[in-house]
Amino acid sequence: METNYQILVNRSHPIGRDFLPNDLVDINEPTGYKEVEYQNKLVMKVYEAYKIMQEDAAKEGYYIYIDSSYRSYEYQEDLMNRFIKEKGLEYAKAYVAPPGTSEHQTGLCIDVLVKRGEKLIDETNEDDPEIQWLMSNSYKYGFILRYPKGYEDITGYNFEHWHYRYIGIEHATKMHDLYINTFEEYYDKYLK
């Protein structure tokens, strides 16, 4: 089955427990989830686009890395249960996709962290220069900021400055040029 780079996955558009991207490749870099071997994977085309974006960011002095990538249904289930136990149901509902509704299961998205000196930093904020660079440039590589600030009622999730989704250069550029801020709005207008 060919990869659908414009698939909409959210609470209203779930994918099944058995959904598995057919072209996952290993990510050859450190991530924030070393204990989970399959986390270090992405769909091949997405990984290739990310590597170009990463190299271009580094040329400007911004060092970005993947904190989290592909997650199986089972991993997302465990993550949701852990967040409920540690932070409560309301927090988990705001920040963690229920199993079957996470874009991570598609292998098309990444959560980023940054490197400063020799240290990988996963607790970034939206004002960090690396994050600002991503917000301004990610569309050139086919990525969008998936959960922007102020659009929680549309996306169903709180603002996540670290979560980028690959939809392809053509679509990401069109979203950027038309000032469309959420994939839900773009999907409804141009892809449905």
CA 162/CA 56 separation, integer angstroms: 18
Which entry of 48, 152, 160, 185 is annotated as an active-site residue?
160
Contact 143, 172 (CB under 8 A): yes
- What gap in Å lies between CA 165 and CA 146, rounded to an integer? 6
> Does the annotation count 160 as an active-site position?
yes
The rounded distance, in Å, linking the Cα atoms of 43 and 181 is 24
What angle in degrees, to the nearest 10, is found between the helix axes of 44-59 and 129-137? 120
For residue 96, which amino acid is it?
V
Closest C-alpha to 20, from 85, 73, 88, 77: 73
Residues noted as catalytic: 160
